[in-house]
Structure 1
Amino acid sequence: MTPLEPRITDHFAALCDARAAAEPDGPAIGDGNKELTNRELLNRVVVADAQLREHGATAGDVVAIRLPSGLEFVIFLFAAWRSGCTVTPINPGLLEDELLYQLSDSGAALVVDLDGSTPTPGLPVIAVRNSPVAGVDTTSDPVVDGDSLALLIYTSGTTGRPKGVMLTHANIVAMATMGARSLGITRADSSLLILPLFHVNGIVVSVLIPMLYGGSTIIAGRFDPATFFDLVAKVRPSYFSGVPTIYSMLAAVPDRGAVDTSSLRFGLCGAAPAPNGLLEEFESRFGFPIVEGYGLSEGTCASTVNPWDGLRKPGTVGLPMPGQEVRIVDADGAGVGAGVTGEVQISGENVMAGYLGKPEDTRAVLADGWLKTGDLGHLDVDGYLVIDGRVKDMIIRGGENIYPREIEDVLASHPDVIDVAVVGRPDEKWGEIVTAFITTGRDSDASRMFDALEELCQAQLAPYKRPAVMSVLPALPLNPVGKIDKLRLRSIAIETQLSRGRV
């Protein structure tokens, strides 16, 4: 399946115009209840563009969008780009201090929210509930080029204050093009958006990729595992993108017989490595392939992906996307061979312009066209990437380097374990000791399960790798983009003195 020619090739500011001109009555975006054609979407974007200008937005300004995932988010996203502005998406769940930090650090000139309730330091606010959807006249054309900043995506802040990742229009056009080529996207494709739009994955994978090639998007709103497949049967998407936690939740839903997944070509899985065996079991049960990939915000979302229509290797995150290179280097920056663990580095037109206002941090991760990801991994003999963990997640016990992913895969192989994360806990004797947190089924016998897990570890792990602490949590804490929050787990590990038990 070969993608069509993209609707635009330089920037996304004129995408809605191009789609409306090519196919005015074609489907563009919906939410399961209301759908907008290409012409209707352009009309809404033009009105929102006029509102932004009326509130003082000019080319080069930063517009903060603090909205739940929905039609209005996408409308104002394209409207801001049409005005020549940069968008910084804000997680509606941020606390006031976190919100004010992002507004200040990004230099936001205007805020778009739901009802005008955002506490802002004197910034104008557009409340979309009180805004007109028609009756505003504007004849302005898009005013942007490929070098203009399109997005300021703030990192999840697990290693300090969040940093603003600067992504240009050229970055996101390159990323959407790479993604479409990897996934065989055509105008016949429709994505189902279940990830938050304040994260680059939701914006790029579920909105920009299909829309760039004439496809459409349905926004699901809040993810509910109990009703997810009912929604799939209703709106009939061809793909969706999720994180391992979502697939774990769906896999844990009681079997209720056949579900209609016939419209789905594949599901995507990213943000964190999937537990060993999860995706294969999911595909066997629900009848469509799960394609695991890898990327980060600094690389505009994705850098590798398993082929949706070719050899998918469990335990890997696939091959480099077209137009990107991936290499593994040792601590001295020298390349290493297949099977050798080192730092993952990527190169391509999707790599960010840098961190906003942080030249030293930018220089620390960008050098000679390569992005230092901070992730540990290795390439197999066929060039498939395996993620072994984060450089900062690595546990050092008595001088021995321990990669949490290896231990997590062993623990996840137990049938009662739903999710697992391994972190290091400070220890006077060893420096760090291995601490495992798991979630399990409601009816599991914790004591018996711990015995079984210890037997698994004894059979498959060297003694120094085996967890010294195992604890059950009702759910693993997640950061705002759905990744397991290992910083929080380290805090719990320090606070908890259990050798085994429930937290």
Structure 2
Amino acid sequence: MSKLTTQLKQQLTNNPTRPIMQDAEKHWYNGSELNEERETWLQYFQNQGIGYNDVVLVALNNSVTYSLVVQTLWEIGAIVHPINPAVTDIQLNEFEEQYNYSAMILNSDIEEPDTLATTFEKRPKLTTLHEPEVELYIRRIHEAHVAKVPFDNQFAIIMHTSGTTGKPKRVGLTHEQLFANSNNIIESEDLTDFDRTMIVMPLFHVNAMVISNLATRLSDGQLIFRPKFSAHLFWKEVFDEQLTWVSLTPAIIEILLQRDEQPKSNKLRFLRTASAPLLPSTHEEFRYRFDIPLIESYGMTEAASQIAQNPLHAPKQNSVGIPFGTDVRILNNDLKELGPDQVGEIALKGPSVIDHYLDPQPETFSDGYLLTGDLGKIDDDGYLFIVGRRKEMIIRGGENVNPLAVEDCLKVLPFIKEIAVVGTSDKIYGEAVTAVIITNDDQTDHRYQLALLKNQANNQLMPAERPTEYIFGQSLPKNATGKVQRTLLAKEIEEKQYIKEA
């Protein structure tokens, strides 16, 4: 077996009576119960002829079953393709044409997709543990593959990048890459068997799959599964379940700040945040309100999640921390390495970093390094700072404008619930700096708010940074982890789907 599957199995066999995973009904399962469940799935897949190199779609809500199904598929050499369980029939058909799945595992409450009727056969529901039932679809015409022990360098999972600046890319991650980054996370967070976390982000996202799920399991910690994040229950569950850490996103941090609840826990060591930039003003407000260590980190699907994280005992404000197990360089436009505190493109290489996409993208690699498209700098102490995205930088009249800096400046105004700044077309200056604001009130007359925005921009921002257009909207387009899809937002503005105030 691969090192990954070996240790996942050992976690269950070495803890026969210890509670390891808790389901949504707050029922704990010990290693013996989970191992029995694992054996059931293992036998089922082998009986269905699912085996080495078969690609299996998994579209489930977060659950104990999810973690065990993925582990079992890896043990027989299959490749997991986790996707959003809210997938549409059209999207499912597109995925099927691309991957030619051997099997699909879907939520039981999903309406049977029409596209599966002629290609797949629904099998009887396999109910185990106390978890909700799931639907199993097996390809009608399928060449049975024998289960084989997976190698470390075999693909374990296929994931899609978030696609905030373009079409999502397909990323194949090996057992070895998942194992390497899981151990980077364990080291950087000092995870032990005393730790307990709750998964609140979707498991089809690399953050939840690797940082919360795999790192906890490989460190013999305890896992609590919830179908999704609940703002009004979060602090209560942190206290009731005696959580020691939780991985969140900036979107969740913002939601927690909008509520009146205060945490009450003597077990919580830290919260960590990743998956999108955390505005400095948001971090400062969180630290002031809750007095809980909020550890910023940096990761991406192409690196099997974590790239850098702030040391727990020596974090730097506004930094995403120090690289763990990954060689990080800052390159200029000529792909030459820059020195400390110089801004350039972040490039990566290491045991957990891919060296190619499943869809060829040779321009994103140079001398063995992955060119991330992120802009950043490294200080003299080795801490990494994210400046923005190369494709998201706004060029107005030849000057570069960082949308994150503009957002952070304006967000201090109390009526702003959410804000996103993007570049839109301008015939004279090339791009306009456009700010889309979601307010926390129901006002329809925004003249006073608009005056406050302009005053703040004039006092705090350079002329090129000041928004030339303000839009008051109802919502921002986001992906499943709450990251604003800036390219889509700019497109919607260009298509006149938003009404400009100025």
**Amino acid aligned to 2:455:** E
Segments of 5+ residues of structure 1 without an aligned counterpart are 1-7, 135-139
Q: Which residue is 1:5 aligned to?
A: none
Q: Who is 1:130 aligned against?
A: 125
User: What is aligned with 1:424?
Assistant: 423
* 2:95 aligned with 1:99: no
> What are the within-5 Å matches in structure 2 for residues 137-176 of structure 1?
143-176=149-182
Q: What secondary structure, in the 3-state scheme, does the structure 1 residue paired with 2:5 have?
A: coil
CA contact (8 A) 1:88 1:106 kept: no
The 1:114–1:37 alpha-carbon spacing in structure 2 relative to 1, beyond 3 Å, is: same
- Mark the CA change 1:469 to 1:91 in structure 2 (over 3 Å): closer, same or farther: same
Q: Which digits, 9 at most, give the CA deviation of each residue in 1:94-150, with x for residues without a partner?
A: 2223222223323422111123724437554667x821438xxxxx99711211111
CA deviations over 1:276-331 (Å, ceiling 9, x no partner): 22123223322321111111101111101112222x2222211111x212111111
Q: Is 53-62 or 92-101 further displaced after alignment? A: 92-101
- Higher mean C-alpha deviation, range 409-418 or range 427-436: 409-418
Partner of 2:367: 368
1:109 to 102, 116, 126: 102
Aligned to 1:24: 16
- Partner amino acid, structure 1, of 2:501: R
Q: How many residues align?
A: 480
SS of 1:328's partner is strand
TM-score normalised by L of structure 2: 0.90
Cross-structure match for 1:219: 225
Equivalent residue letter for 1:172: L
Q: Secondary structure of 2:38's partner? A: helix
- For 2:121 and 2:457, the matched residues in 1 are separated by 55
Q: Which has the higher mean CA deviation after the structures are superposed, 77-86 or 454-463? A: 454-463
Residue aligned with 2:180, SS: helix
Q: Deviations over 1:25-66 (max 9, x none)?
A: 122211242221112111111111222222221111111101
Distance 1:471 1:202, change over 3 A: same
Give the alignment partner of residue 120 of structure 1, picking from 116, 122, 130.
Answer: 116
Which of 30, 49, 58 is the equivalent residue of 2:51? 58
Q: 1:314 to 1:470 in 2, by over 3 A?
A: farther
- Provide closer, same or farther for how the CA distance between residues 305 and 19 of structure 1 changes in structure 2, counting only shifts above 3 A: same
What are the residue-to-residue correspondences of 1:397-408 with 2, within 5 Å? 397-408=396-407
Q: 2:134: which partner in 1?
A: none
Which residue matches 2:135? none
1:240-295 residue CA offsets vs partner (Å, 9 max, x unmatched): 11111111001001x25x53232211111111111222123223322321111111
- Assess, with a 3 A threshold, how the Cα gap between structure 1 residues 327 and 126 changes in structure 2: closer, same or farther: farther
Q: What is the aligned counterpart of 1:327 among 301, 311, 329?
A: 329
Q: Displacement of 1:212 after TM fit?
A: 0.2
List gaps (5 residues or longer) in structure 2. 130-145
What displacement does 1:160 show?
4.8
C-alpha separation between the residues in 2 aligned to 1:384 and 1:448? 41
Residue type matched to 1:55 in 2?
A: Q
RMSD of aligned residue pairs (Cα, Å)? 2.3
TM-score between both structures, scaled by the size of structure 1: 0.90
Aligned equivalents of 1:21, 1:34: Cα separation in 2: 19
What residue is the counterpart of 1:3 in the other structure? none
Q: Percent identity?
A: 30
Q: What letter matches 1:83 in structure 2? A: I
Preserved CA contact (<8 Å) 1:111 1:126 = no
Contact 1:244 1:269 in 2 (8 A): yes
Aligned to 1:239: 245
Deviation at 1:353, TM superposition (A): 4.7
| Runs of 4+ displaced beyond 6 Å | none
* Stretch moving more, 76-85 or 434-443: 434-443
